Amino acid sequence: MTAPCLLNEFELLDGTTTQKLFIRLTPIIFCVGLLGNILTMCVFIITDLKRQSVSILTIALAIVDSLVLLIPVSVLWLEHLLKREFTDASPFWCRTHGFFDLTFTCCSSWLMICIAFERFCAVWLPHRHKILFTHRKIFFFVLGIVITATIISTWFIFVVKMVLKTRPVILPQTTTSLLKNSFKNISENFIFWSSRQITPENHTLKIYFKCDVYDDILYDSMGMVSVIINYFVPFVFILLLNSTVIYRLCQRGIVELRSSITVTLILVCLVHLFCTLPFQCWWIYYEVLDQTGDCSWLKNKLTWRTITFTIRNINYMANFFLYSFSSKLFRDELKGLVLLWLLPHERYQSYHYRRQSLYDNMQQQNVSLIRLIMRRLSRTSEYTNGGVIVNPIGGAVANNDHVANV
């Protein structure tokens, strides 16, 4: 059996290409993803897209993706940047860092299932779609997903704790003598807790608190259950639902690829599958199948975790770009919203209400009501009124007769 590695994560990855790329790419993913999710929420809340029943699901998905980027992703990036584990410094963060990640990723994955199922019903059950998916029903369904994901992820709080550990450190002779002299000058009535204890042969034991698990077997078992719930089961459901939807659309053959909301949401689901698959494969292999424990194994494990974790985070950034590239309706509403913010003029203030107000529609086209009536009358070919045409001056004209003045 190989000896356990005494180096920490940052010492193993220090100076590697993987760590440098992670430190440089994560701020871009964080900032771009947060801005894109905010714009997505604004478009689906303010514009006419809010009438779509799926808008509540896309808004909730943007909120959850933003929370993933704000808490787990940003904190892990700060740990790599500062080369310090925040979980060892705070008992609260030790117990909750995995809880937040599990909760938000679980919500994101099951919201994707809801989106896929909603599109499945819209394609296969169009007559019952509006009855099954009202705004009120979807709102309570989303609330149920959030509560359930929170309860399921609470196991992590109870399997980790702060553990007191020691680590041998070799000190020079001068440093050892200085430490011994400093300890002699301390009064006996003064309680002093030192992070170092001097041992013979110029060695010192560094005493520190580290966030660790109660039982490795319990942690691996519950972690495997969470991976199945958060990634594997959603992967299967999303793949099956979207496959049936694509099959149905191919049978119809009348789908406009650049304007269909169904095609856009299918693309969002597929990107979710491809981005989350590498991370779940990494977890299953390194946490369950292979547990060697030496430094070489640990370095490979951390390297692949960093790579798959970065790919997974791209999923929480990409939805805004998928909406923009694949949906012309989303682009038009986003363009109008941006113009409304940048150019607060009457011409742009009525942009998002042009479908609701006939007056605003006619005003934008510079068509007056009188011109509209005269244009309609000019299209009439015959005026049949018993052989009499009313004279605007007040006379009546009969066929083949003189003008009769009233």
- pLDDT tens digits, residue range 189-246? 433 334 444 444 545 666 767 888 888 888 888 988 999 999 999 999 999 999 999 8
The conformation of residue 277, written as its DSSP 8-state character, comes to H
> Which pLDDT band, with edges at 50, 70 and 90, does 15 fall under?
confident
Task: Give the mean model confidence (pLDDT) for residues 165-191.
Answer: 50
Q: Which region among 31-40, 47-56, 146-155 has the lowest average model confidence (pLDDT)?
A: 47-56
Q: What is the pLDDT of residue 14?
A: 84
> Which pLDDT band, with edges at 50, 70 and 90, does 36 fall under?
very high
Return the bridge partners of 397, or none: 389
- Compute the distance between CA of residue 365 and CA of residue 196 in angstroms, rounded to an integer: 80
Task: Give the mean model confidence (pLDDT) for residues 377-381.
Answer: 53
On average, the pLDDT of the chain sits at: 78
SS3 198: strand
- CA-based radius of gyration for the chain: 33
- Compute the distance between CA of residue 399 and CA of residue 388 in angstroms, rounded to an integer: 7
More confident residue, 52 or 40: 40
Q: Which region among 16-30, 59-73, 188-202, 293-307 has the lowest average model confidence (pLDDT)?
A: 188-202
Q: What share of the chain is helix, strand, coil (3-state, %, to 5)?
A: 70, 10, 20
> Concatenated DSSP letters for 220-265?
HHHHHHHHIIIIIHHHHHHHHHHHHHHHHHHHH----TTT-HHHHH
Q: What is the pLDDT of residue 164?
A: 77
Return the bridge partners of 204, or none: 169, 198
CA-based nearest residue to 195, from 184, 185, 210, 181: 210
Question: Token pair of 115, please?
Answer: 């989106």
Tokens 């070919």 label which residue? 381
Q: What is the pLDDT of residue 240?
A: 95
- pLDDT tens digits, residue range 52-87? 889 999 999 999 999 999 999 999 999 889 888 888
Contact call for residues 205 and 168 (beta carbons, < 8 A):
yes
Task: Give the mean model confidence (pLDDT) for residues 2-14.
Answer: 74
- Does 8 have pLDDT greater than 80? no
Greatest mean pLDDT range, 89-98, 137-146, 345-354, 393-402: 137-146
- Compute the distance between CA of residue 339 and CA of residue 347 in angstroms, rounded to an integer: 10
Q: What is the pLDDT of residue 374?
A: 57
Task: Give the mean model confidence (pLDDT) for residues 131-135.
Answer: 90
Question: Token pair of 51, please?
Answer: 């009438």
Helix (H) or strand (E) holding 310: helix 295-326
Task: Give the mean model confidence (pLDDT) for residues 104-121.
Answer: 95
* CATH 1.20.1070.10-classified regions of the chain: 9-159+216-338
- Compute the distance between CA of residue 77 and CA of residue 398 in angstroms, rounded to an integer: 91
The CATH code for residues 9-159+216-338 is 1.20.1070.10
- Other CB atoms within 10 Å distance of the CB of residue 115: 23
- Does 174 have pLDDT greater than 90? no
Q: What is the pLDDT of residue 344?
A: 63
- Compute the distance between CA of residue 226 and CA of residue 102 in angstroms, rounded to an integer: 7
Q: Which region among 130-144, 165-179, 295-309 has the lowest average model confidence (pLDDT)?
A: 165-179
CA-based nearest residue to 72, from 44, 36, 33: 33
Residue 47's alpha-carbon distances to 34, 263, 265, 336, in angstroms, are: 20, 20, 18, 9
- Compute the distance between CA of residue 212 and CA of residue 208 in angstroms, rounded to an integer: 12
SS3 215: coil
- pLDDT tens digits, residue range 324-375? 998 888 998 898 888 888 776 555 555 544 444 433 444 444 445 555 555 6
Contact call for residues 101 and 73 (beta carbons, < 8 A):
no
- Does 395 have pLDDT greater than 70? no
Please state, for a pLDDT cut of 70, what percent of the chain lies above it. Answer: 69
Task: Give the mean model confidence (pLDDT) for residues 264-271.
Answer: 92
